Chain A
């Protein structure tokens, strides 16, 4: 069974601490190890920062945490009416995201940009 936690923050880097804190708390419930949590926090930071850098006139950033067994999926999205570019795969940011998680996806649809990643815990 999947539980989901939604977070909506102003589109500003000043609120990233909140996004990280929520990720940390949820990952602790899934029994992620200390290091896995650290990786998760880096990934969350990176995904949010990349979307905020493309925010244009958007005022909010949305984060959804999906908890499923020992796995956490995080979807970060931002309104992008001006059809900003999704994150290219040859960037350092993409490299960070894929090194820190098990799977990364980007999507741009219905006027929103999405970055999602999946991370399983408990492997030590």
Chain B
């Protein structure tokens, strides 16, 4: 997190990245198969083909995401971000270009990852005081929820933490959206979610979110489903998955941020 993103280095070796990806996991990308898929995708724009292309090139995203992992973000989040770049590359790829897709896609994926860190720049600079505040609030909220059997109000948190409400509110943004990751990650939930998948997918395809949702880690998809379709509260989901409510909140907010990425292009205050 202390390191400033090195803008130049990653950019210069897309071919190396591509090669690395093809060797990764002993799972080589069959180029003929990929070409054929692309040909059919360009003709039909069939979301199922798009999804297959995403799956085929996921090792490339994972490979590139790993290069950014020492900056305090969980790898799985980086893979999500990288997948957005992959989707953009898939949609824009032109078969007429005499270039391998992986070579073409690498700068787009890396660009997405860099943008992610740039956008989060302020979060990375969250002062130590706020980070500590966040940690102590986490604890207070968890304790209070236990004590009173429901989610506490801001006033209750303030009383318990002996802090002015203003300060609790100040800590809120950090807590809910940009809490430093770490420590709390429970093992991924690997239950099957067939029925849940179906109701998500029914909407997905209309909303063109299909590949993005399909690209989410299973636990995030499950949380998405339980909260938005299953009518469960964050606390109920937390109990069911064996993680804290704050953690559910964080995963939910992150997932939504990823899903919304495509909607609004690059914007900065000014």
Contacts and interface: CB of A to CB of B under 8 A. Distances in A.
B204 A92 contact: yes
B195 interface: no
Given A32-B153, A99-B229, A24 B169 contact: yes
Interface string B237-270: 0000000010001001100100110011001111
B151 A124 contact: yes
A36 interface: yes
Nearest to A27: B154
B203 interface: yes
Interface residues of A, number: 35
| Chain A interface main SS type | helix
A99 to B, nearest CB: 4
Interface string B116-157: 000000000000000000000000010000000111111101
A64 interface: no
Interface of A: 12-15, 17, 20-21, 24-25, 28, 31-38, 41-42, 45-46, 49-50, 52-53, 90-93, 95-96, 99, 122, 124
Interface of B: 141, 149-155, 157, 165, 168-169, 172-173, 176, 203-204, 206-207, 209, 227-229, 231, 233-235, 245, 249, 252-253, 256, 259-260, 263-264, 267-270
Given A14-B268, A24-B169, A95-B203, 7 more contacts: A21-B173, A36-B151, A42-B253, A90-B206, A93-B207, A96-B228, A96-B256
15 contacts: A13-B264, A25-B169, A28-B165, A28-B169, A31-B153, A33-B151, A34-B151, A34-B152, A34-B157, A35-B249, A42-B252, A42-B253, A92-B203, A95-B203, A99-B228
